[in-house]
Structure formats: C-alpha cells, structure tokens
Amino acid sequence: MEQDADRRSFLGLAIFGLGAIFSAVIGVPIVCFAIDPRHRKGPQSNFRLVDEIKLNELAVNTPVQGVVRDVRVDGWTLYPDDVIGRVWVVQVAARPAGLSTREEVLNFNEDEAKKAAYLSVFTTICPHLGCSVNAAAAGFACPCHGATFTLAGVRAQATNPAERGMDTLEWEIDADDPEFNRIKVKYQNFVPSIKEKRSIG
C-alpha cells in the first residue's frame, strides 16, 4: 500500500513538474513579447529625425541631402530604420544666436519667421511627376523632364514642366539633442502635377 502511495506521489510530482516546464517553455516567450518596449505605444509625433545632417556642418546657400527614417512593421518583421524619404536642407543665413538651452530651442521652434530666415527644407521629390530632384549649380534640377528650381525652391524658368515650386516641409531643431545640432521634419508626400501643394493621405 505504501508503494502505491509513493508511486502516486511520484507520478503527481512528475506531472506537476512537466506542467511547470511546459508552462515556462510556452509562457516565458509570451511574457517577453508582451513586455518588449518595441511593442509599447510611445508618444505620438509627426516629426522624424533627419539623418546625415548636422547644423554646424551646413554652409549658407549650399544644399545638403538628409535621410528620414521611421519604424515599419511588416507582418512579424520589424524594420527599425526604414527609409521613408529624403530631404534637401538649405541654410539661408547664419545660425541665430541664443540657441544654447532647451527652452531657447523650444521657443525658436514656435517662431516660423525665424525658422524660415535660417533654413529651408524641401522634399527631394519633384512636384512634376515624382522623380528625385538633384542639386545643381544654381539650385536644383530634375533629371527626368528638365524642371529647375532656385535655392529657395521657386520654379527657375517660365517653361518649367513643374506647375509649382519644390514642396517645403515643416521642421524644427531637435530639442532632445544635447548639442541642438540636429533637425526633425514632418515628412509628407504631395500630389504631383497640380498647381497647389496638397498632401497625400
């Protein structure tokens, strides 16, 4: 009788142990997935950091191209640095004084006139048919159909195939950058081949 009791106790413990092992094998990955910070909702912002551009490396009237990246999820695959677009940044005048604290940068970001006097930011997509606009000797040029633009993004010729100037983007200095040396843009695509600037989506 004692052997039967011992056998039942052993079988009970074995079943309990196997259940615990299976629960751990199945449960731990589920818990890890649930608490992974990549799956948490972060603060929503339409502004994305521009890579490959530092403000202290810009020169007046010299276009520099930057890359805008964002997180993209495709099924089970996470792309943390997916390229969503490219921008042209043109420094219009010298960097304004008084941008050495976070508060000063935040105040500057609210002043559209001061920002426009400092930098112009354009999407690299031609407003004619969507080709990629290149830097040229006197501004910008589209290699597809010969559209040209000034450094201010204005149509440079009367017979320009583009019906409007280059599309500007909203931008701000990154207040989270310790050196306040990077910018963020609100990246958008715009409807081509029409006179007014109209965002897609």
What are 87-144's pLDDT values in tens digits? 999 999 999 999 999 999 999 999 999 999 999 999 999 999 999 999 998 899 999 9
Q: Going by C-beta distance under 8 Å and a sequence separation of 6 or more, which residues neighbour residue 159?
A: none
Whether 195 maps to a domain, the answer reads no
pLDDT above 90 as % of the chain: 65
**How far is Cα 131 from Cα 139, in angstroms, rounded to an integer?**
16
Same domain for 33 and 58?
no
User: pTM of the predicted model, to two decimals?
Assistant: 0.75
Once rounded to an integer, what is the mean pLDDT over residues 149-173? Answer: 92
Same domain for 75 and 108?
yes
**How far is Cα 138 from Cα 161, in angstroms, rounded to an integer?**
18
Question: 36: which 2 tokens?
Answer: 């992974």
Q: Which amino acid is at 85?
A: G
What are 40-67's pLDDT values in tens digits? 554 456 899 999 999 999 999 999 999 9
- Positive or negative, the Cα torsion across 73, 121, 107, 112? negative
Whether 193 maps to a domain, the answer reads no
Same domain for 84 and 138?
yes
Q: What is the CATH number of the domain that holds 62?
A: 2.102.10.10
Strands (E), 92-169: 119-123, 134-136, 139-141, 148-150
Whether 199 maps to a domain, the answer reads no
Same domain for 144 and 103?
yes
Whether 194 maps to a domain, the answer reads no
What are 119-133's pLDDT values in tens digits? 999 999 999 999 999
Count of the separate structural domains present in the chain: 2
Whether 82 maps to a domain, the answer reads yes
What is the phi-psi region of residue 28: left when phi exceeds 0, alpha when psi lies from -120 to 50, beta otherwise? alpha
Question: CA 34 from chain center: how many Å?
Answer: 25
Same domain for 51 and 92?
yes
Q: Which spans in the chain are helix H? A: 2-35, 102-109, 112-118
Q: State which residues form the domain around 16.
A: 2-39
Same domain for 109 and 21?
no
Same domain for 31 and 104?
no
What are 3-36's pLDDT values in tens digits? 666 667 777 777 777 777 877 778 777 766 667 6
